[in-house]
Amino acid sequence: MNYTINCFLPVGTQEETQSTIKELQSSNLVTKIFLIGDSDFELDGAELLSSKSLLSGQTIHEIGEKSISDFTLIYTKTSALKLGQFALNRFVKVATDTQASLTYSDSKVIKKGQVENHPVIDYQEGSLRDDFDFGSLLFINTKALKKASVGVDKAVQYAGLYSLRLALSEQSELLRIPEYLYTDEELDTRKSGEKIFDYVDPKNRVVQIEMEKVCTEYLKRAGGYLEPKFAELDFNSEQFHLEASVIIPVLNRVKTLEDAIKSVLCQKSDFAFNLIIVDNHSTDGTTDLIQKYAEQDDRIIHLIPKRKDLGIGGCWNEAAHHKNCGRFAIQLDSDDLYADETTIQQIIESFHKEKCAMVVGSYQMVNFKLEEIPPGLIDHKEWTPENGRNNAIRINGLGAPRAFYTPILRETPLPNVNYGEDYALGLAISRKHQIGRIYNSLYLCRRWDENSDASLSIEKMNAHNSYKDRIRTIELKARRIQNL
């Protein structure tokens, strides 16, 4: 059987767009090419759609109506596309062999004139974040496309593609081919540490609200939606010597830890608190620094675990189960510091006011000199008490500083990892309990070259994203069971 492909791509420069058209036309599988956007130049061999944005719901409907081939190719970039040897034939073969609704692959990218590998990751049931990286070439079964596009809201301006792929995932799997089948140009060359906060940049709030609506509707269809009903808590059910503990897990942060310690010791509150520093066998002078402060202030507990296999999550578990941990445990990373002397007072007041199991504040992005840097205040104002825990399964983090009711923290140990442990815990807690929010700045999040996510390789970013997707997959399954 001879299969056919209709192709859809956004308009770029005349040179780049014409190059992509010629590349697609070089395959005898391609029967039609459609362009999306405004064009003040004529291009041979392509038809211009009435829709102007690839991301809109209206465009997805038009693609579904216009495509009359066996498969539909959507190219999401404006830069020139270069296909690998028999790449489209390979897409057809895998798509027909597996009956996947959407197929995607690894690729090569041109960054500042250099060609680099750009591997992507396998799609999971919990790959619900709207920025999941499929690469720039989406190969879709047209029958599945037409069925899925009907349910896409025509009114959405930014969530059209996101809505489409969620609907496609309900029909059959979204399948990755672990082969480098095409090359394109990398258009966003920022470091990983600059990209990861895009979803909380205030200028993107309209986009995020739209994405939340689409994801919430999907969760309702998928059985993972949680109604705004929460378990009640009695904060006096257990006895504690102290009302609060600040917990700092640390490994080799002698450059920044002193600022963090000072920001805790200067806190003013109407309750007693301590500071538990879990020193994960530091070798750079951090241990001596902690000991110096512990000798000066008896509120400091210098805890060196017996175990030597602990990540950040494991260090948190050590502190939470310490006999002198307070009723509420408050997070502070060794790179960061509290915004002022009222931070822990505000957090504890929020616990008692909202009767919640977890409180998340807002933080200011700063450089090493504590000067504000973009995007500034990260306040997660998209969070709502009614739908926050549903939206939490889509976004990539819950914010900072984070604080927990200690009995709940002890019931739900953090994963013993160095990345995503707090997100996993927050999702698990939100399954039954309300999470409180504080929207004014409580925390200075310091970005510098030694941050764990400042400038990661594509392989490390993929590992992080795969792990968080796995956490979401586990959470989605757990919520389905809870809803039975």
Q: Could you list the pLDDT tens digit for every one of the 484 residues in the chain?
A: 689 999 999 999 999 999 999 999 999 999 999 999 988 777 778 999 988 899 999 999 999 999 999 999 999 999 999 999 999 999 999 999 999 999 999 999 999 889 999 999 999 999 999 999 999 999 999 999 999 999 999 999 999 999 999 999 999 999 999 999 999 997 655 454 554 555 556 567 889 999 999 999 999 999 999 999 999 999 999 999 999 999 999 999 999 999 999 999 999 999 999 999 999 999 999 999 999 999 999 999 999 999 999 999 999 999 999 999 999 999 999 999 999 999 999 999 999 999 999 999 999 999 988 999 988 898 888 788 999 999 999 999 999 999 999 999 999 999 999 999 999 999 999 999 999 999 999 999 998 766 555 568 999 999 999 999 999 999 999 999 999 9
Classify domain 244-483 by CATH architecture. Answer: Alpha-Beta Complex (3.90)
Picking from 248, 242, 249, the residue whose alpha carbon sits closest to that of residue 269 is 242
DSSP, collapsed to helix, strand or coil, labels residue 311 as: coil
CA distance 410 to 413: 6
Task: Confirm if 55 and 8 have CB atoms less than 8 A apart.
Answer: no
State residue 112 phi and psi, 5-degree precision: 50, 45
What pLDDT was estimated at residue 454? Answer: 55
| C-alpha to C-alpha distance for 358 and 433, rounded to whole angstroms | 8
Per-residue model confidence (pLDDT) at position 191: 55
Helix (H) or strand (E) segment spanning residue 181: strand 174-185
User: Which tokens belong to 236?
Assistant: 């006096």
Dihedral pair phi/psi, residue 240, rounded to 5°: -135, 145
**Alpha helical stretches, state H, 6-153:** 14-25, 57-66, 87-98, 142-149
pLDDT the model gives residue 190:
45
φ and ψ at 289, to 5 degrees?
-60, -45
Q: What is the pLDDT of residue 186?
A: 78
How many angstroms separate the CA atoms of 244 and 10, rounded?
Answer: 54
Alpha-carbon distance of 484 to 478, in angstroms, equals: 10
User: For residue 39, what pLDDT is reported?
Assistant: 82
Cβ-based neighbours of 210, under 8 Å, separated by 6 or more = 156, 157, 158, 159
Distance CA 40, CA 345 (A): 60
In 157-256, alpha helices (H): 160-169, 192-195, 205-222
CA distances from 247 to 98, 301, 422 (A): 49, 10, 13
Fold exhibited by the domain 5-189: Spore Coat Polysaccharide Biosynthesis Protein SpsA; Chain A (3.90.550)
At 110, which helix (H) or strand (E)? strand 102-111
> Which structure tokens are listed for 398?
């819950």
State how far the Cα of 10 lies from the Cα of 8, in Å rounded to an integer.
Answer: 7
Side-chain-side CA neighbours of 467 within 13 Å: the count stands at 17
Query: Does 5-189 match 244-483 in CATH topology?
Result: yes
Question: For the chain, which residues make up each domain, given as ranges?
Answer: 5-189, 244-483
Taking the whole predicted model, whether its pTM rises above 0.85 is answered as yes
DSSP state letter for 293: H
Decide: residue 288, CB within 10 A, 0-12 exposed, 13-18 middle, 19+ buried: exposed
Q: Which residue, among 89, 58, 62, 44, has the nearest Cα to 8 in the 3D structure? A: 62
Which pair of tokens denotes residue 2? 């001879």
